[in-house]
Structure 1
């Protein structure tokens, strides 16, 4: 009996050692050496969207929000069966209308049959986190795109693969350069994960390079913001900022904002988008009236600009962008994943029709 127990114990040790040996060690590489999709400018800190030191007149809140990595994604190729990540963010407080994954986590897509497909997320556990995004894959080479946190400053990021596997830079998989300047809705509130913000969906579905310049609550078309946007080298400019400024600010600022962009980009199309319907306005008459006035003012400004001879200017109205079942928002203000999907589906054909006129495809 004692001999049998000893043999069983020995077999268990061998089995455990073999199982351990079959689990590859994860090795990490600094993600900053790979191509970073979504950047409008080179920045000293790789995961900032804008080097705000260049724009001293920007409001402090705008500068802070532009340190967020919203819309940015690391792209790479690997034959690893496992993809992990280590990353550090700040100790900013949790936001009550965002998931932790959207605010401070990661979102991995892998190309399959020519299309980008969701593969896994990095769940934040602390200021610095380590998480396995996907495992037990085959060892074929895979094109990967890792979306970064929407609502926090990313301090560092390393991508982990199985020891002995390869990981190399993937060239920019998108064409042209299109700026989307806008509110928290552009920024990504309240997507469930970073890749579900509608500019990211538009990129994956159209193959075009959308740069997310969402500035939550603060896309108010200030002169300094106009200068910053006009400095971006881009083929087109989409202004989805109507939800933030007051009707009075829209009336006073839109024309100067558009003309500042046009002065630096004489032929690029500039597309204004009305505010989406705020679901709070189903019953809150004040909210309903404010959105109505905002959309009236942006439409009036569009007409004044067109009458003044500003060309290559377009207006997209907001009817039905969220559907008509009133279930496409998280908090009555910001879209949920269903809402963002519907926005992208509604905007893509309209934007594509405009872009095709300018060979932006």
Structure 2
């Protein structure tokens, strides 16, 4: 009986010690409020502190359709750059929507992603984290080896809005948030550009592509609602961008309401709107990434993707022939998806995201001055 009591006593003390150690670890963290410290990158210049973690400014709430506004609260493409000497980084935060979707995991919809690169390299390397998806989500990054003076990049969730977020490091560690002073790459697109269906945020194609450039990348993609609408065009034309990417064809299929003539008109108006403020800044318009994909037998989908892409390509070439020498067309062949590149023949998996990012990288490296 005495031995049993002694065993339980020692177990209880051991458990208590572990709890106190964990609490002590939490108490030893120095927490930084990412929003209050103005650390967020990847958003248009019109964003203000009161806009929270959103991608659209409050001034647009009554100007855009409700689905666009709601999707604009998602943090797709938003990121934080910083330097630190910390050997352990903890991020805790709360999101406002569902953690996942049937075709996309929690790590992509609601998760984070951390990368780092040394000061003498352009290579971004990944740091995996231990995560917990509860009411408060947490990621712990530790046991990593980085060079002194490395730059870290933390990507926020692709398909969820963030209510609050804090980044914790040791009490004696240092942290400096960084900001890119470059002309941004502006992306206006659909669910594909928003990040569906990457398994984690760093693999969304706009984020993946962004690691190949010094320019900040601004993601204005809205799932099912990238339709070249005037309020968004008026927002992006105010940006002093290095290039404008209009990847909206996947949401511009031909229907009874959206005729071929209307699609042509949308494209012409989008280019005209941007050109009113930026007469020579490069504009890229892309085909549906899943048009003309070999080895897929769903004829109705294929025909629809091919039709809208063909109309868009013809329109772009006419604008080019009329004198716009800084307007570019990205073909689906250049993107190069195959029948292993998507989740559902529209939304890329990680392999498809890599192909799209690579295609844009090749083109932008030629046209960004």
Q: TM-score normalised to the size of structure 2?
A: 0.85
Which residue, out of 193, 209, 212, partners 1:205?
Answer: 212
Superposition pairs of residues 219-238 of structure 1, within 5 angstroms: 219-238=226-245
| Backbone CA RMSD of aligned residues | 3.1
Q: How many matched pairs? A: 350
Deviations 1:183-223 (A, max 9, x none): 11110000010111111111112333221111111111122
Deviations 1:319-354 (A, max 9, x none): 152444x21112221111111112112221122112
Q: CA deviation at 1:96?
A: 1.2
Q: What are structure 1's unaligned runs of at least 5 residues?
A: none
Aligned to 2:111: 105
Q: Is this contact kept in 1: 2:44–2:236, CA < 8 A? A: no
Q: Is this contact kept in 2: 1:147–1:195, CA < 8 A? A: yes
Q: Is this contact kept in 2: 1:38–1:73, CA < 8 A? A: yes
Q: CA deviation at 1:281?
A: 8.0
Instruction: Please say if 1:151 is aligned against 2:154.
Output: no
**Relative to 1, partners in 2 of residues 1:142 and 1:306: Cα closer, same or farther, differing over 3 Å?**
closer
Instruction: Supply the distance in 2 between the matched residues of 1:211 and 1:98 (Cα, whole angstroms).
Output: 22
Aligned to 2:257: none
Instruction: Supply the distance in 1 between the matched residues of 2:324 and 2:355 (Cα, whole angstroms).
Output: 30
Instruction: Supply the distance in 1 between the matched residues of 2:20 and 2:144 (Cα, whole angstroms).
Output: 18
Aligned to 1:27: 30
Instruction: Supply the distance in 1 between the matched residues of 2:343 and 2:131 (Cα, whole angstroms).
Output: 20
Q: Is this contact kept in 2: 1:34–1:76, CA < 8 A? A: no
Instruction: Supply the distance in 2 between the matched residues of 1:238 and 1:63 (Cα, whole angstroms).
Output: 20
Any idea what SS the aligned residue of 1:86 has? strand
Q: Is this contact kept in 2: 1:178–1:209, CA < 8 A? A: yes
Q: Is this contact kept in 1: 2:249–2:309, CA < 8 A? A: yes
Instruction: Supply the distance in 1 between the matched residues of 2:267 and 2:183 (Cα, whole angstroms).
Output: 25
Instruction: Please say if 1:285 is aligned against 2:299.
Output: yes
Q: Is this contact kept in 1: 2:290–2:337, CA < 8 A? A: no
Instruction: Please say if 1:83 is aligned against 2:81.
Output: no
Q: What are structure 2's unaligned runs of at least 5 residues?
A: 255-259
